[in-house]
C-alpha cells in the first residue's frame, strides 16, 4: 500500500529521482521520461473524463479503468528488471489488461463507419481531449520502444502492447463520441490552397 505523509523530500533537488528498486537516475533519464510521459497521458485522460462523463458513461468507465492501468504501467516502468530477486513482487502490466482494452476498442468500433479520410482533432470536448491524450500516448510509446532497444534496459512486451493499444483506443473512443454528436471532423487535402 502507498503511504504518502510528506509530499516534498528534497531528495530530487540534485536533479535525480529514485526508481522503485532504489537506484537514483537523472530526471532526464530515458526511463524517467517514459514513465513521466505516461503520467502526462493519464492527466490528459483525466481532462477527457471531465467531458466524457456528461457525453457517455460507458466511455467514461472505460477511461477510469485505463487511468488506473496507467499507474500500474508507471510502476512497471519504474521497476526495471535487474536480474536479481526483489524483496517484493513488482507490479507489471499483464496480458489480461491488453485483452480488456482490445475488447473495449472492438466494442466501440463496431458501430463506426469505415474511415475514408484522416480525422482532425476536433468535435466534442471529450473527443478533442482524447486526441490530445492519443498524441501524448504515442510520444510515451516512442520513448518506451527506445528504452526497450537500449542496451542494459528492458520493457515487458505486455507493457509495450498496452501502450500501443491505448493510442488505438483513444482514437476509436474519440470517433465514437463524435459519431454520437454528428460525426468526425475530416481532413480535406489541399482545402486551403
Q: What integer pLDDT is reported at residue 22 of this predicted model?
A: 67
**pLDDT of 124-152, one tens digit each?**
999 999 999 999 999 999 999 999 999 99
Distance CA 68, CA 47 (A): 15
Q: Which pLDDT score is estimated for 68? A: 98
pLDDT higher than threshold 80 for residue 176 = yes
Its pTM stands at 0.90
| Beta strand spans in the chain (E) | 16-18, 24-26
Pull the grid cell for residue 130: 482524447
Q: What is the mean pLDDT of residues 159-176?
A: 98
Which pLDDT score, from 0 to 100, does residue 2 have?
A: 59
| pLDDT at res. 6 | 67
Give the pLDDT score at 28. 74
Please give the Cα distance from 136 to 27 (Å, whole number).
Answer: 19
- Owner of C-alpha cell 524517467: 32
Residue that is written with C-alpha cell 475488447 in the block: 103
pLDDT of residue 82: 78
14-66: pLDDT as tens digits: 676 766 676 777 667 999 999 999 999 999 999 999 999 888 899 999 999 99
Report the SS3 class of residue 95: helix
pLDDT in tens, 64-101: 999 999 999 999 999 988 788 888 888 999 999 999 99
Other beta carbons within 10 angstroms of residue 50's beta carbon come to 12
| CA-based nearest residue to 141, from 118, 169, 121, 106 | 169
Backbone dihedral angles phi then psi of residue 78, each to the nearest 5 degrees: -85, 5
Are the C-beta atoms of 166 and 48 separated by less than 8 Å?
A: no
Rounded Cα–Cα distance for residues 19 and 23 (Å): 6
Catalogue all structural domains in the chain, each as residue range(s) with its CATH number: 25-81+91-113+124-180 (1.20.1200.10)
Q: How many CA atoms lie within 13 A of 123 on its CB side?
A: 30
* pLDDT score, position 109: 97
pLDDT of 119: 94
pLDDT for res 11: 59
Beta bridge partners of 41: none
pLDDT of residue 139: 98
* The pLDDT of residue 56: 83
Give the pLDDT of residue 14: 64
Residue 125 neighbours by CB distance under 10 Å? 16
Amino acid at each position: 500500500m502507498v503511504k504518502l505523509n510528506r509530499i516534498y523530500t528534497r531528495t530530487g533537488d540534485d536533479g535525480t529521482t529514485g526508481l522503485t528498486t532504489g537506484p537514483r537516475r537523472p530526471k532526464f533519464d530515458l526511463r524517467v521520461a517514459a514513465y513521466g510521459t505516461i503520467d502526462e497521458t493519464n492527466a490528459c485522460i483525466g481532462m477527457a473524463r471531465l467531458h466524457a462523463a456528461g457525453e457517455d458513461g460507458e466511455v467514461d468507465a472505460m477511461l477510469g479503468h485505463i487511468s488506473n492501468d496507467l499507474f500500474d504501467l508507471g510502476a512497471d516502468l519504474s521497476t526495471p528488471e535487474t536480474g536479481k530477486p526483489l524483496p517484493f513482487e513488482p507490479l507489471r502490466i499483464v496480458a489480461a489488461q491488453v485483452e480488456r482494452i482490445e475488447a473495449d476498442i472492438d466494442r466501440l468500433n463496431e458501430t463506426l463507419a469505415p474511415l475514408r479520410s484522416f480525422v482532425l482533432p476536433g468535435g466534442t470536448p471529450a473527443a478533442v481531449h482524447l486526441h490530445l491524450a492519443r498524441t501524448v500516448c504515442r510520444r510515451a510509446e516512442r520513448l518506451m520502444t527506445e528504452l526497450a532497444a537500449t542496451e542494459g534496459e528492458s520493457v515487458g512486451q505486455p507493457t509495450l502492447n498496452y501502450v500501443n493499444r491505448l493510442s488505438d483506443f483513444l482514437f476509436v473512443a474519440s470517433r465514437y463520441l463524435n459519431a454520437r454528436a454528428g460525426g468526425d471532423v475530416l481532413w480535406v487535402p489541399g482545402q486551403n490552397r
